[in-house]
Chains A and B, each alone.
Chain A
Amino acid sequence: MAEPSDPSPAPDALPEPRIVRARRWNVSLVWLVPAVAIAIAASMLVRSVFLTGPRIEIEFKSADGVEAGKTEVRYKEVVIGKVVGVALRDDRERVVVVVQLDQSAARFAVEDTTFWVVKPRIGTGGVSGLGTLFSGAYIGTDAGVSTRSRSEFVGLEAPPLVLRGEPGAIFVLRASDLGSLDVGSPVFYRRTQVGRLVGYTLDADRDELTVKVFIEAPYPKLVTTNSRFWNASGIDLTLNASGLTVNTQTLVSILAGGVAFETPTDGTRATPAPENSVFALFNDRRSALAPPDGSALPLRMSFDQSVRGLVPGATIDLLGVDIGRVRTVALDYDAKRKRFPVEVVADIFPTRLGPVRSALLRDVHGAGDAAVLQQLVANGLRAQLRTGNLLTGQLYVALDFIPGPPRTATIDDDGSVRLPTAPGTLSELQPQIAEIVQKVSKIPFDEIGRDLRTTLASASKAINQLSPEAQKALAEVQRTLQRTQATLESLDRNVADPSAPVQRNLEETLLELQRTSRALRLLSDYLQQHPEALLRGKPADAPVPQR
């Protein structure tokens, strides 16, 4: 044990122990270790227990793609929580997804927050959520602004198209037909996309569609109270006197449909429309930009003739001005007369009359458009079917003043005006032509033909009997003519020929007469200058002047 060189005493003697002062080391300092551990553990636990956000429950139709412990809850792609449990609701109708929100996301557990599952979606508006192909579905969030907290939510089945706080404005369009529009369809202004369609509902009570469009900032101010919206889907092809016009929006809208709007520049000052203003959605640009029709006045007309060529939508025309549309054409039965009159229901738009309308309304002391119509009928206004297109045989209803027995317009229970009708020009013509044809058919063409033949036969007989005398008479005529010709020839020789004596004599006489008249003229001239010559005679000639 002890080394040989060791200075310590012999092996059997134990070395002298050394006593030294211990380093100052307070043993109770070791208790700092558990204290620090407790502090650390407590802080960690406090952070994870007390600093976790609220736990919320979201109901979905199905938990497709949602996995407990994996699926995240994100707001603007920032993770704010995680699904910690997926369970069926007690009634097994829906799925309850339990979400543990982060502490920083505690504000999300308020009343108007919405949740939805983000999955890859391919629609007409584009492809979305492609990232979830790799990461799996996640729950998207739109933060609410309410201050009332809540822990049970009902999730949306599809992502909302407008997130809260997205700058822009929503406008409501009322449409009769959705056309090829769909959620996500673009909204165009001057062929530039300024928004999108965010939803539509079929309003069963009003039997029309309510379409909501979202116009992104800063474009909402382009929507004015005068703006007109129309369905810009597809290709608008117009052929008229000015040629062929093809009107389209972008290729996307041709394929996927779209809404366009425009503000007609008709001089009136347009103010930006407030959010959620309601507009009508027209079927095309032309009808959209036409002056507003106002409320329609229904008309009922009963025609006693075929209405072949009259289709719903045909024009109602007042002296050439388009004032309405045919709504329905239906067959009626008149038991009294045993006839099938055709009942035509049409809408006319009194506002299309323009300033005339107010004058007419003043005439009836403001009793309304129906009263105006009644007065016009009393003055002879009648509905009449007329041919609009000779090629296709399309008919339109013309309102015109037609002389005839006075009639009145009645107003039906439903407020529609029953307008008296006049037979159409074509239908008026038909009986007249028939009458003529009838008269023509009454003419005894057979008898006439027979009579004519006998007449012709007797005529030819008479001519045959007359022929010998006629030949004689003709020979006489010929002789007479020959003689006349001879007379004329001699006359010609004696008179007309320039060498004839009559001609020559006449010529000489005329020359003599000419000379005489010249001499007379000289005499008269001389006498004019020298009237004294009558008394004194002609003086001697003046001497020739000498040089």
Chain B
Amino acid sequence: MTAASEPPLLLGCESCGLVSPAVVLDDPTLVQECPRCGHVLAATKPHALQRTWAFVGAAAVLYIPANALPVMVTTQALQRDEHTLLGGIHELWLDGSWGLSIIVFVASIAVPVLKIAVLGLLAWTVRHKPHWRRLERARLYRLVETVGHWSMLDVYVVVLLAATVRFGALASASPGPGLISFAAVVVLTMLATWSFDPRLIWRDVPDGRTV
């Protein structure tokens, strides 16, 4: 795959920056190594699209239970409450804490959805619309990479609550099954982001040429 129609002449090492001449390899079991640091050299990450698709798919699947199941179970004086993500945001909104509600919405709904959608879009365009808005796609990728970790906000909040709010029968909080799914979604989107290789966007563009 990497040794496609128009092979590059040189390969830069991602680890130490040494540039080596690219070698055309016919045997798929052989890889080229950086002669200085031993890092594997490739024009793009191997199987990047396949991995991205797998992680994005897994994240998308787990996103359903993450929203459907309660992320937190609180007990206040014999009253047991289960909170889902959207339910919690709704409650916050009804309580008048619009700002907080928006923050939670962005962090726990908008960002994961955006990431899944963007990564899906990027992976799809590599194959099917390779020439479409390459610069914007590259920027989109950088945005996704930057914003990714903030989705763990919810997980942190719940884990902190569960750890601190322990007043026996009066009040307690514990993570629900939805939280595990949600954390898995966040981790999987991060893995997908990491798997995707932005160089794929520019694969068949000659050096110095803009689209």
- Contact status of A41 and B65, CB under 8 A, knowing A14-B10, A70-B79, A72-B79: yes
Query: Which residue of B29, B33, B69 is within 8 Å of A18 (Cβ)?
Result: B33
- Contact status of A18 and B35, CB under 8 A, knowing A70-B81, A135-B77, A135-B79: yes
B31: Cβ under 8 A from any A Cβ: yes
Q: Cβ of A36 and Cβ of B21 under 8 Å apart?
A: no
Per the bound structure, the CA–CA distance linking A15 and B46 in Å amounts to 23
Binary flags per residue of B47-60, CB closer than 8 Å to A gives 1, else 0: 10011001101110
Per the bound structure, the CA–CA distance linking A79 and B78 in Å amounts to 10
Q: Cβ of A14 and Cβ of B20 under 8 Å apart?
A: yes
Q: Which of A1-31 contact B (CB under 8 A)?
A: 1-2, 6, 8, 14-22, 27-28, 30-31
Q: Cβ of B68 and Cβ of A135 under 8 Å apart?
A: no
Per the bound structure, the CA–CA distance linking A131 and B30 in Å amounts to 72
Q: Cβ of A17 and Cβ of B35 under 8 Å apart?
A: yes
Q: Cβ of B64 and Cβ of A45 under 8 Å apart?
A: yes
**Interface range for A:** 35 or more
CB distance from A15 to the nearest CB of B (A): 4
- Contact status of A17 and B65, CB under 8 A, knowing A22-B29, A34-B54, A37-B184: no
Q: Cβ of B32 and Cβ of A18 under 8 Å apart?
A: yes
Per the bound structure, the CA–CA distance linking A37 and B55 in Å amounts to 9
CB distance from B178 to the nearest CB of A (A): 8
Determine the chain B residues whose CB is within 8 A of the CB of A136 once the complex forms: 79
Q: Cβ of B47 and Cβ of A19 under 8 Å apart?
A: no
Q: Which of A123-151 contact B (CB under 8 A)?
A: 131, 134-136
Q: Cβ of B35 and Cβ of A37 under 8 Å apart?
A: no
A48: Cβ under 8 A from any B Cβ: yes
Per the bound structure, the CA–CA distance linking A392 and B99 in Å amounts to 88
A353: Cβ under 8 A from any B Cβ: no
Per the bound structure, the CA–CA distance linking A30 and B52 in Å amounts to 9
CB distance from A348 to the nearest CB of B (A): 62
Query: Which residue of B20, B50, B57 is within 8 Å of A27 (Cβ)?
Result: B50
Determine the chain B residues whose CB is within 8 A of the CB of A72 once the complex forms: 79-80
Determine the chain B residues whose CB is within 8 A of the CB of A47 once the complex forms: 177
Task: Considering the complex, give the chain B residue whose CB is closest to the CB of A136.
Answer: B79
A33: Cβ under 8 A from any B Cβ: yes
Per the bound structure, the CA–CA distance linking A20 and B62 in Å amounts to 38
Q: Cβ of B188 and Cβ of A16 under 8 Å apart?
A: no
Task: Considering the complex, give the chain A residue whose CB is closest to the CB of B65.
Answer: A44
B25: Cβ under 8 A from any A Cβ: yes
Query: Which residue of B10, B18, B46, B64 is within 8 Å of A1 (Cβ)?
Result: B18
Determine the chain A residues whose CB is within 8 A of the CB of B25 once the complex forms: 19
Q: Cβ of A22 and Cβ of B18 under 8 Å apart?
A: no
Q: Cβ of A41 and Cβ of B29 under 8 Å apart?
A: no
Listed residue (A22, A36, A70, A79) with the most chain B CB atoms within 10 angstroms of its CB:
A22
- Contact status of A21 and B29, CB under 8 A, knowing A31-B54, A48-B68: yes
- Number of B residues with CB within 8 Å of any CB on chain A: 45
Per the bound structure, the CA–CA distance linking A21 and B29 in Å amounts to 6
Per the bound structure, the CA–CA distance linking A37 and B80 in Å amounts to 29
Q: Which of A312-358 contact B (CB under 8 A)?
A: none
CB distance from B67 to the nearest CB of A (A): 11
Per the bound structure, the CA–CA distance linking A53 and B181 in Å amounts to 23
CB distance from A295 to the nearest CB of B (A): 56
B110: Cβ under 8 A from any A Cβ: no
- Contact status of A134 and B57, CB under 8 A, knowing A14-B20, A17-B20, A18-B33: no
Task: Considering the complex, give the chain A residue whose CB is closest to the CB of B35.
Answer: A15
Determine the chain B residues whose CB is within 8 A of the CB of A44 once the complex forms: 65, 68-69, 177, 181
Q: Cβ of A33 and Cβ of B54 under 8 Å apart?
A: yes
Q: Cβ of A14 and Cβ of B19 under 8 Å apart?
A: yes
- Contact status of A37 and B61, CB under 8 A, knowing A6-B36, A15-B20, A17-B23: yes
A158: Cβ under 8 A from any B Cβ: no
- Contact status of A14 and B21, CB under 8 A, knowing A34-B54, A41-B64, A41-B65: yes
Determine the chain B residues whose CB is within 8 A of the CB of A254 once the complex forms: none
Q: Cβ of A27 and Cβ of B46 under 8 Å apart?
A: yes
Task: Considering the complex, give the chain B residue whose CB is closest to the CB of A15.
Answer: B35
Q: Which of B94-135 contact A (CB under 8 A)?
A: none
B17: Cβ under 8 A from any A Cβ: yes
Query: Which residue of B19, B46, B57, B81 is within 8 Å of A37 (Cβ)?
Result: B57
A252: Cβ under 8 A from any B Cβ: no
CB distance from A418 to the nearest CB of B (A): 71
Query: Which residue of A8, A41, A70, A135 is within 8 Å of B61 (Cβ)?
Result: A41
Q: Cβ of A27 and Cβ of B81 under 8 Å apart?
A: no
CB distance from B61 to the nearest CB of A (A): 5
A40: Cβ under 8 A from any B Cβ: yes
Determine the chain B residues whose CB is within 8 A of the CB of A70 once the complex forms: 79, 81
Determine the chain A residues whose CB is within 8 A of the CB of B22 once the complex forms: 17
B41: Cβ under 8 A from any A Cβ: yes
Determine the chain A residues whose CB is within 8 A of the CB of B11 once the complex forms: 17
Task: Considering the complex, give the chain B residue whose CB is closest to the CB of A71.
Answer: B79
Per the bound structure, the CA–CA distance linking A72 and B191 in Å amounts to 41
- Contact status of A37 and B58, CB under 8 A, knowing A15-B36, A27-B46, A70-B81: yes
Q: Cβ of A17 and Cβ of B181 under 8 Å apart?
A: no
Per the bound structure, the CA–CA distance linking A8 and B16 in Å amounts to 14
Q: Cβ of B31 and Cβ of A22 under 8 Å apart?
A: yes
Task: Considering the complex, give the chain A residue whose CB is closest to the CB of B178.
Answer: A44
11 more CB-based (< 8 A) A-B contacts, given A14-B20, A16-B35, A40-B181: A19-B30, A20-B32, A36-B58, A37-B57, A37-B184, A38-B61, A40-B62, A44-B69, A47-B177, A72-B80, A134-B77
Q: Which 3 A-B pairs have the closest CB atoms?
A: A37-B58, A135-B78, A34-B58
Measured CB to CB, the residues of B under 8 A from A are 10-11, 17-23, 25, 29-36, 40-41, 46-47, 50-51, 54-55, 57-59, 61-62, 64-65, 68-69, 77-81, 177, 181, 184, 188, 191
Could you list 14 A-B pairs, sorted by A, with CB under 8 Å? A8-B18, A14-B21, A17-B32, A19-B23, A27-B46, A27-B47, A27-B50, A30-B55, A33-B191, A34-B58, A40-B184, A41-B64, A44-B69, A136-B79
